[in-house]
Every structure is written in structure tokens, then in C-alpha cells.
Amino acid sequence: MYNAWENALAEIEQKISSSNFSTWFQDTSLISTDDGHIIIGVKNSFFVKQLRSKFLDVIEESLKNTGIEVQDIDFKIETKSKSKVRPREITSTPTPIKNKLPSMNSLKSPKNQKTGLNSKYTIDNFVVGSNNDLALAAAKSIINNPGTSYNPFFLYGGSGLGKTHLVQAIGNEILKNHPDFKILYTPISDFYADFVDSVMKGKGKDFNNKFRSLDVLIIDDFQLIVNKEKSQEEFFNIFNNLHQLDKQIIVTSDRLPSEIKTVDERMANRLTWAGAFDLQLPKFEDKCAILRSKADLLGAEIEDEAIEYIAENVNTNIRDLEGELNTILLMSDVRGLTPLELINNGSVNVSHQTKLRPTTAKRIVDKVAKYYNLTTTELKSKSRVAHIKNSRQVAMFLLKSELSMSTPKIAAEVGVKDHSTVIHGIKKIEQDLKLNFILRDQIAEIKEKIYD
């Protein structure tokens, strides 16, 4: 019954404006459906009145569409209390613990069993910026004409930049336009699990049919593809099949297919036939926009200065950005201070939270040298051999990012004279990191070794 309401909510959400939905349908529940007598639980009588006078039709229709018989609809006021307060519970510690966390988690995320899509991801709540406008434009064209222009749609970018959001949103929007379409969203790992399972049970045919009858197939986290010839062959077959029938295929990955070790060339070529779209790290303005929209979604109040502070200090990805925002909002709830007050009084320290784990400059230089099969002396030499030069730049980059060392100091550590050489080197690595996935992996591996 609970699920039925989730499904109905997902449908209602698409029919009314998002501000109406989040205002009136948050914290609602389905209490009973006996013999078509629907009872819906709401917060208070203000909600009863409004739902009854403005949204009764929408509720009825959505419930019917989810397969629930509707005779009449009534509302009941439900106060969600976590625990009944009993006098004996009194403690003598006068430090009340405030915790309004539920209000943040209460944003419903109804997940559709059949398609694997989560309806909380929509195109409307995808924040557009210069980092993703191209991919978004392609996505919109797919929504309008699935299977024609960008097929397959290959989307790549670092983790936490919104790949899953965007492809799920495509799925949701297509489903909205074509309710009869068969759409399946699956991470590649699930695809394999499914495949292995069906082979073991001797139902390989069912598996084939299940995928070949799809109108839209969305594969997430393609980089996790395993090096098993048989299953890769199977995927390749399904891919070809759907593609020939002009069915839309959407694939996400954290790097280009040619950079995934386990993918053979044939497959890699196919995947990027229609081009590859990347999601990049958001710029400062984009980050501010993302934070603002997220805060609005949560109904939280946060000053512009606080948003700018977070945007300036979180440089990893959007997931971290949102994580930081949530932490600060929660802290502001608990302490009763506004986010900006928290930042100003030093309670929040974004930039130093995730970094500056204990390590030394020497250790970093040693590990970099070792990783690239050089001696420390070679790395610190004046050699301009590309290989050595490059590893020197990686060392500079890591000294900066891990230890926040000043450029003159870094220069001394890696044996270059001029601090402008260091600035140039760091910039180059930062630039390369955006596109060079091998380098990205390398640096991640080196970091692991440094902190091992």
C-alpha cells in the first residue's frame, strides 16, 4: 500500500507544479484503501482544506492509474511523533538535542520497480551551467526524438557530477511522453548479475527477450564492465540488436571507452559512434547555482555569502558540494545559528576537512618517483625528458593539493629554480586531469600509496 502511494505521488508530481507538490504532498501518507474508501494522512487541517478543494481530482486520477479502486477520498490528520513522551523519560541533563534531520530526508524518492528509474531525478531539477549545457541539449533532443539523433548517447565525467541524474531524467521524461515505452535503467553490474543468473537457470532466452523488447536501455557506470568475454559478447549483441531497431541506448561511464582497459576496440568504437558528451567540473557560478537550487529544494534558508564560501572551498564534485551543504544546514539546525554565522565563527571549515592528512613532502616526492620507476634524484634533476618532466609536475601538483605548500617551497622540493615553473606545472596537470583519465587514475593510485 505504501508503494502504491509512492507511485501515485510520482504521478502527481508530474501533473502539478513542483512548488505545489513539495508544499502540499510532502509528509502525506496513504492510511487505508478499504473498499475504495481512501484515507490519506496529512499534517494539519490547513492541508486537508487545500488538498480537498484543489487537488482531489489529481489524487483520484493518480490513484486509479496505480490500480487502486477509488470510491471516496477522506483525509486524516497525523502528527508524526517519533516517540510518545513519557514522564519517566526525563533526564537531568539540560542539553536538549535538537534534530530536524527528518525534514531533509523527507523528500520522497519513489523508485519505479519496473524501469529502475527514480522519479526524483527530473530535467527541471538538473541545474544547467557551462559545465553541462552541451550534454543537456543532447539529452533534450533525445527526449523529444528517442532513438534518432544521438544513438547511442555516451555520457562521461568524474563521479558525482550528475551523470546518473541526467540519464535517469532522460528516462523519466521519455516515460512521461510515451507511457507505453519499455524503459530499463540498470547499472552494468546488475546487468551482469542478471545475465549470469539467467544462464545458470537456463533462461538465457528470457534474458535476451527482456532486453531485446526494450525501447530505451540505460546502462550506468559502464567503466565497471568486467573482463568476461561471454558476457561482454552478450552485451555487444544486445547493443547491436537494439541499435539496428533504432532503439535508444544510453551509456554512462567515468571515462571514455577507449580508456577502459577491459573494453575491446570494437565495442569502444560503437559506443562513441554518435559522439561522447562529457560533464565537467562546475565553475564557481555553476556551483553557486547548484547550491542555491538544492537549498531551495530543501526549503532551507542560507545566505549568499555562505553559498559562495562553500562553492569556493569545495573543488571536488557536485556530490561533495551537496554533502557539505547538508552538513552545514544540519549544523545550523542543531546549533540554532544561520549558516553564515557558523562559517564566521569557525565552526565550519570546509577546505581543511577532507585534506591535509598527515604526510610529508619527502614521502610524496619519493612515492611519485617510485610510481614512475625513477629515482628521487632523477625526478629532481634538470632533465627535460617528457616522462621525467611529467612525473615532476605530478609531484608539484600533489605537494600543492595535499600539503598546500607555497610554490617557492615546492620548487625547492622538486629541484627547480623558479617558482613560476611550479605554477606552470601545477596548471598543466590540473588542465590534463579534466580530459586525461589515465592520469586521473595514476594520481589516485599515487595518493593511495602516499597514505598507505
Point out which span in 44-52, 179-187, 239-247, 355-363 binds another protein (CB under 8 A).
Answer: 44-52
Candidate residues 2, 35, 57, 87; the one interacting with another protein per rule CB under 8 A = 87
- Binding test (CB under 8 A) with another protein, winner from 2, 35, 57, 93: 93
Write the DSSP assignment of 357-372 as a string of letters.
-S--HHHHHHHHHHHT
Q: Does 301 bind another protein (CB under 8 A)?
A: yes
Instruction: Give the neighbor-by-neighbor strand order of the sheet with 183-187.
Output: 183-187, 216-220, 248-253, 153-156, 276-278
Q: How far is the CB of 102 from another protein (least distance, A)?
A: 8
| 143 contacts 157 by C-beta, under 8 angstroms | no
Which CB atom, from 91 or from 377, has the smaller least distance to another protein? 91
Residue 45 in the binding site for another protein (CB under 8 A): yes
Q: How far apart, in whole angstroms, are the C-alpha atoms of residue 425 and residue 392?
A: 8
Which span (83-91, 117-125, 166-174, 245-253) binds another protein, by CB under 8 A?
83-91
Place of cell 555569502: 305
**Beta carbons within 10 angstroms of residue 318's beta carbon:** 25
Distances (CA, A) of 162 to 280, 387, 451: 10, 34, 28
**Which residues, at least 6 apart from 179, have a Cβ–Cβ distance to it below 8 Å?**
none
Characterize the bridge pairing of strands 37-42 and 72-77: parallel
- Select from 35, 57, 67, 95 the one that contacts another protein (CB under 8 A): 95
Q: In whole angstroms, what separates CA 182 from the centre of its chain?
A: 24
Residue 189: half-sphere exposure toward Cβ, Cα within 13 Å: 4
Among residues 296 and 441, whose Cβ is nearest to another protein? 296
Which amino acid, 120?
K
Q: How many residues does the chain have?
A: 452
Between 20 and 159, name the residue whose CB sits nearer to another protein: 20
Q: Which is nearer to another protein, 300 or 450 (CB)?
A: 300
Find the part of the chain contacting another protein (CB under 8 A) among 98-106, 266-274, 386-394, 402-410: 98-106
Please state, as a whole number, how many other Cβ atoms lie within 10 Å of the Cβ of residue 161: 24
We find the least distance from the C-beta atom of residue 107 to another protein, in angstroms, to be 11
Adjacent-strand bridge partners of 32: 39
Binds another protein (CB under 8 A): choice among 2, 57, 79, 265: 79
Does 339 sit behind a cis peptide bond, omega within 30 degrees of 0 on the bond before it? no
Closest CB 304 distance from another protein, rounded Å:
14
CB of 72 to another protein, least distance (A): 19
Shortest reach from residue 85's CB to another protein, in Å: 5
What is the sign of the dihedral through the CA atoms of 343, 348, 351 and 352? positive
Question: Which residues 13-32 are close enough to bind another protein by CB under 8 A?
Answer: 19-20, 22-23
CB nearer to another protein: give 46 or 451: 46
Cα 446 to Cα 429: distance, rounded to the nearest angstrom: 14
Site string for another protein, 260-299 (x = CB under 8 A): ------------------------------------x--x
Nearer to another protein, 82 or 114 (CB): 82
Based on the shown chain and the rule CB under 8 A, indicate whether residue 86 belongs to the binding site for another protein.
yes
CB atoms within 10 A of CB 10: 21
Q: Please pick, from the candidates 48, 73, 268, 331, the single residue that binds another protein as defined by CB under 8 A.
A: 48
Does residue number 94 form part of the binding site for another protein (CB under 8 A)?
yes
Q: Give the other-Cβ count within 10 Å of 51's Cβ.
A: 19
Beta-carbon contacts of residue 441 (< 8 Å; ≥ 6 apart) = none
In angstroms, the CA 357 to CA 363 distance is 13
Give the total of residues touching another protein (CB under 8 A). 40
Nearer to another protein, 42 or 188 (CB): 42
CB nearer another protein, residue 45 or residue 431: 45
49 binds another protein per the rule CB under 8 A? yes
Residue from 77, 385, 435, 438 in contact with another protein (CB under 8 A): 77
Whether the Cβ atoms of residue 77 and residue 48 lie closer than 8 Å to each other = yes
Burial label for 44, CB within 10 Å (0-12, 13-18, 19+), is: exposed
Cβ distance to another protein smaller for residue 83 or 373: 83
Please pick, from the candidates 2, 57, 98, 386, the single residue that binds another protein as defined by CB under 8 A. Answer: 98
96 binds another protein (CB under 8 A): yes
Give the dihedral of Cα atoms 278, 282, 286, 292; nearest 10 deg.
110
User: Please, what is the minimum distance in Å from the beta carbon of residue 40 to another protein?
Assistant: 15
Binding region for another protein (CB under 8 A): 19-20, 22-23, 43-50, 53-54, 77-87, 89-100, 296, 299, 301
